[in-house]
Structure 1
């Protein structure tokens, strides 16, 4: 109970200070090109064994050393299978699809000067195998004097299932929660098969884990009818994360035209040679809409393959780059009917479009490995 009152008192004492420091301290943030990694972090869970379709909450309290005052945190984080991240009770963002431990999200957040709480709810997949239950994170906290510290996922975190109301808030008392169980070290078996892609600046992007998709389930013959199909996928950034650029690699069997937020970006006609586009946003959009027109020129194999990394600059802060990934998977939408006018525009309503069919995970046959050619950046 004493700990609860200390948390509540700390929150009250520093809330007013934080409201003013959130703007006044922005210029004090260091100009850092972060090299954050998971190399020293641990995969953690609430037990040593996995349970299918489980949801587990994690909490980490952090109070700076005496004489230090916190201003911000840069966070890289992923989980198997999905996650929601909170800082001091505020929702920061989700580990949105692809729900794969192979892809981290990067967030930049302002902190209270003193006590802060990082909270995550994470879920497992339906299979419940040993590497289907895990959370890993590295948090770089920055002080007002421009020095930094790192917080790592380890057994100092607390973890619990059956989450009570308000579990993610600053004032919640988690002293009765058990400590987290370390289920593995990064890049050590069996987790060495889940080495993680981390959003970077500049981006490092490939087709790893992307899926070839189409509007039809592939028949046994492998032959799909000739014709054009329209595909769409919308990326909505986490709160206060402002898209600055997107790097996109794309290939299609046979031909494609790519649009981003209604602007034609480029096209291709050889699925063995993909294109890498860098799209810079002159005005930060509220969402990034990928729209692709793909034509199967003759009855044959057909498919679309896309990977995108979005880099974002948090509102009011320029020294930290946030980022996220988006791949072709069954969350893309398409239509088998006539191509509607304006389908590439951000405001187009695709809610009635069905989900695509997943054909194969790159680099599976019949397409195999694809080379990537870089195209000059564009600004929209």
Structure 2
């Protein structure tokens, strides 16, 4: 009980401190991120055997050493299959699709000077069967004197399967929660098959786990009708994370034109050769809208393949870079009808468009492995 009142007092003392939310009118290129890795972190869960379609809450309380004052945290985090991250009760962001353990997110957040709580709502709902579940995170905390400490997911975290109201807040007392179960090390089977990608600066991007998609279910013949299709996907950054640059690799069978936030970025006409684009944002967008006009020039195989890594500069912070991935998957939308005017613009309403059909995961036949060529950076 004493621990609960101590946490309550701390939360009241520092209630005036919050995550930075101001969005600048202009943004600078992100700084190189710190060399965070998962090498020492453990996959943790509430038990060694995962339950399908289960939701688990995990918490890590942290108080700095005597004489130290916290200012910020850089977090890399992933889960099998999905997650929502909170810091001191504030929603930071989700492990949005791709809901695959190999794709981590990177967040940068301001901290309270003293007591802080990192809380995660993780779920086995989504892709996969729930037979393998876990949370993996590394947290680099920075003090006012510019020294740092690293927190990892391990058995010091608290975990519970049924979440009471306010479980993610500073004042909540998790003293009765069981400690987490370590279900595996980052580089030990079966987790060594989850080769985690982490958003980086400069980006390291590939088509791994991206799907070839189209608007039609592929018939047994593998032949799709000739014609053009419009595709869209909107990326909305986590609160306080401001997109600074995006790296996109893209190919289409047979041809495509790529638009980002309504601006024409480039085209391709050979599906065996993908293009790598770097888009720098001159002003801070509230979202990144990808739109593609793809054309199947004759009755044959058809498909669109895209991967994007977004680097973001957190509002008010210049010493770390947030980041996330986006792939062609079931969150993309398309239409088989006439191509509507303005479909490439951010404000276009695609809510009535059906989702795409996933045909195969790269590097599946008939496309196999692609060559990627780099195009000169574009500022929009």
- State the TM-score, normalized to the length of structure 2: 0.95
Which residue number in structure 1 is paired with residue 276 of structure 2?
A: 276
Any idea what SS the aligned residue of 2:15 has? helix
Instruction: Label 1:20 to 1:316 Cα distance change in 2 as closer, same or farther (>3 A).
Output: closer
8 Å CA contact 1:46–1:180 kept in 2: the answer is: yes
Which residue number in structure 1 is paired with residue 361 of structure 2?
A: 361
Between the aligned partners of 1:348 and 1:21, the Cα distance in structure 2 is: 30
1:181 is the counterpart of 2:181: yes
Q: Looking at secondary structure, tell me which structure has more helix per residue.
A: 1
Any idea what SS the aligned residue of 1:346 has? coil
Aligned-pair distance for 1:7?
0.4
Q: Give the unaligned 5+ runs of structure 1.
A: 24-30
Between the aligned partners of 1:38 and 1:317, the Cα distance in structure 2 is: 23
Deviations 1:352-379 (A, max 9, x none): 0000000000001111001100000000
Between the aligned partners of 2:69 and 2:112, the Cα distance in structure 1 is: 8
Which residue number in structure 2 is paired with residue 109 of structure 1?
A: 109
Aligned-pair distance for 1:20?
11
Which residue number in structure 1 is paired with residue 26 of structure 2?
A: none
Which residue number in structure 2 is paired with residue 219 of structure 1?
A: 219
Any idea what SS the aligned residue of 1:188 has? coil
Which residue number in structure 1 is paired with residue 204 of structure 2?
A: 204
Deviations 1:210-243 (A, max 9, x none): 0000000100000000000000000000000000
Between the aligned partners of 1:33 and 1:186, the Cα distance in structure 2 is: 21
Which residue number in structure 1 is paired with residue 170 of structure 2?
A: 170
Aligned-pair distance for 1:129?
4.8
Which residue number in structure 2 is paired with residue 320 of structure 1?
A: 320
1:306 is the counterpart of 2:282: no
Between the aligned partners of 1:90 and 1:152, the Cα distance in structure 2 is: 20
- State the TM-score, normalized to the length of structure 1: 0.95
Moved over 6 A (4+): 19-23
Aligned-pair distance for 1:336?
0.2
Aligned-pair distance for 1:125?
3.9
Which residue number in structure 2 is paired with residue 68 of structure 1?
A: 68
Any idea what SS the aligned residue of 1:209 has? coil
Instruction: Label 1:166 to 1:21 Cα distance change in 2 as closer, same or farther (>3 A).
Output: closer
8 Å CA contact 1:22–1:71 kept in 2: the answer is: no
* Matched length: 371
Between the aligned partners of 1:74 and 1:373, the Cα distance in structure 2 is: 32
Instruction: Label 1:21 to 1:226 Cα distance change in 2 as closer, same or farther (>3 A).
Output: closer
Which residue number in structure 2 is paired with residue 154 of structure 1?
A: 154
8 Å CA contact 1:50–1:128 kept in 2: the answer is: no
> What are the equivalent positions in structure 2 for 1:209-288 lying under 5 Å apart?
209-288=209-288
Aligned-pair distance for 1:21?
11
Between the aligned partners of 1:322 and 1:246, the Cα distance in structure 2 is: 12
Instruction: Label 1:175 to 1:19 Cα distance change in 2 as closer, same or farther (>3 A).
Output: closer
Between the aligned partners of 2:231 and 2:256, the Cα distance in structure 1 is: 10
Q: Give the unaligned 5+ runs of structure 2.
A: 23-30
Instruction: Label 1:313 to 1:36 Cα distance change in 2 as closer, same or farther (>3 A).
Output: same
8 Å CA contact 1:55–1:122 kept in 2: the answer is: yes
